[in-house]
Amino acid sequence: MAAEGGVGPLIFIIAGEPSGDALGAKLMHALKHADSKVRFAGVGGDRMSAEGLHSLFPLHDIAVMGITEILPQVPVIFRRLNETVAAIRAQRPAVLVTIDAPAFVLRVIRKTRSSDLPVVHYVAPQLWAWRPWRVKKLVGRIDRLMLLLPFEKEFFDRAGVPSVYVGHPVLEEADAPRQADFRARHGIAADAPLLVVLPGSRRGLVGRMLPVYGAAMRLLHRRHPSLRIVVPVVSGTAAQVGAAVRDWPTAPIILNDPAEKRAALAEADAALTTSGTATLELAVAGLPMVVTYKVSALSAWFARRLIQVPNVAMPNLVAGRTIVPELLQEKCTPEAIVEELDALLRGSEVRAAQRSALAEVCAKLGRDGPKPSERAAAVVLSMIR
């Protein structure tokens, strides 16, 4: 779709999951601001569509994680892979931008790599955490790697991968507009404990986490009868989440408006979240959290033999120490979740300690200068030959 102002360079952009869709939308917005003639093609979700992308196919066709979760989707994924490769060859874009989802996009890059197609990859694979030997797959395949986290650059520099730290776009959420008085709008008493629950953006992950979360909410409600719950959702999981939370003790407030989500984070007391980008959103909002994650037993067996870092939650990785509790795999039980959340909801000192540590994380990420998406847009445009 051509941007207003005439024909300009075509940027083929691929996001492989909802978090990548959010990054892609911010990047597209910044690119249009920098060059009003830029055009887009590729793969994305609702947010990138709102910025002018006509996605080749629905994002959820390839937004799958975990060994046992991927296997049933293999025929669909490979069909979509071939469609993407064919579109790139036919449209001959000025630059290819791939966002996260390395299992999918690195295959696309391998099949379309040529001297006249610059490749920019946004969001470094977490090879510093597990399978570091796979970094060699990036050497010679991408022209620029855009990093979200400051400590990543040393690792990729050592490996000979051309990289640039642009910063994490969640930092932009701190300045994004939001309405005040969230509690008043939703009839929540000022002294009622308010919990934000973030079960993930992928359907498979949501399906694993919500039964555990539901059991935890029933136990937590016994300790906090006035508890109110907010559950932000993305379009791909809204119906799934709505069905799963119907039997929770207090009817949760389901939000699909990003501005309302930001308002909820500003007024909540604590959050229960899956590990991922959401943890940095909470960090930027200064909202104390409990981080969880659960995969299939087979996926967990492989992960334990490959992960080489002591933490998985991004705030802990950036801080270099454990500042938010992590309940992973067999430790992710309703009882353990309740104990951690109860400590946050009851203990003002516990909340204050987390908020102080989260402020340190935001300082390390950096908030000065151009927005991360603007820096990323400048890198992409600089690669067009």
DSSP 3-state of 271: strand
CA dihedral 338, 204, 64, 32 (to 10 degrees): -70
Within 10 angstroms of residue 234's Cβ, the number of other Cβ atoms is: 22
Q: Domains for the chain: give ranges and CATH numbers.
A: 10-167+368-382 (3.40.50.2000), 175-365 (3.40.50.2000)
Write down the pLDDT at residue 2.
Answer: 37
Distances (CA, A) of 179 to 184, 259, 261, 280, 355: 11, 7, 10, 21, 22
Mind listing the pLDDT tens digit for each residue in 114-153? 889 999 999 998 776 667 777 888 998 999 999 998 889 9
CB 10 within 8 A of CB 91: yes
Q: Which phi and psi angles does 14 have, rounded to 5°?
A: -125, 120
The strand pairing partners of 290, in sequence order, are: 272
Task: Give residue 16's pLDDT band: very low, low, confident or very high (50, 70, 90).
Answer: confident
Distances (CA, A) of 195 to 12, 159, 345, 348: 39, 42, 9, 15
CB 41 within 8 A of CB 53: yes
Within 10 angstroms of residue 269's Cβ, the number of other Cβ atoms is: 20
Task: Give residue 65's pLDDT band: very low, low, confident or very high (50, 70, 90).
Answer: low
Strands 119-122 and 163-165: unpaired
What is the distance between the alpha carbons of residues 44 and 2, in angstroms, rounded to a whole number? 16
Task: Give residue 60's pLDDT band: very low, low, confident or very high (50, 70, 90).
Answer: confident
Decide which of 7 and 142 is more confident. Answer: 142
Encoding tokens for residue 308? 């080489």
For the chain, what percent of residues have pLDDT higher than 70? 89
Mind listing the pLDDT tens digit for each residue in 340-365? 999 999 988 999 999 999 999 988 88
For the chain, what percent of residues have pLDDT higher than 90? 63
Distances (CA, A) of 371 to 53, 91, 142, 214: 22, 30, 23, 37
Task: Give residue 95's pLDDT band: very low, low, confident or very high (50, 70, 90).
Answer: very high
Write down the pLDDT at residue 369.
Answer: 72
What is the distance between the alpha carbons of residues 92 and 336, in angstroms, rounded to a whole number? 52
Stretch 183-190: mean pLDDT: 94
Mind listing the pLDDT tens digit for each residue in 194-240? 999 999 888 888 888 999 999 999 999 999 999 999 999 987 788 99
Instruction: Flag whether pLDDT at 68 surpasses 60.
Output: no
CB 219 within 8 A of CB 301: no
What is the distance between the alpha carbons of residues 27 and 246, in angstroms, rounded to a whole number? 36
Identify the weakest region by mean pLDDT among 77-86, 106-115, 131-140: 131-140
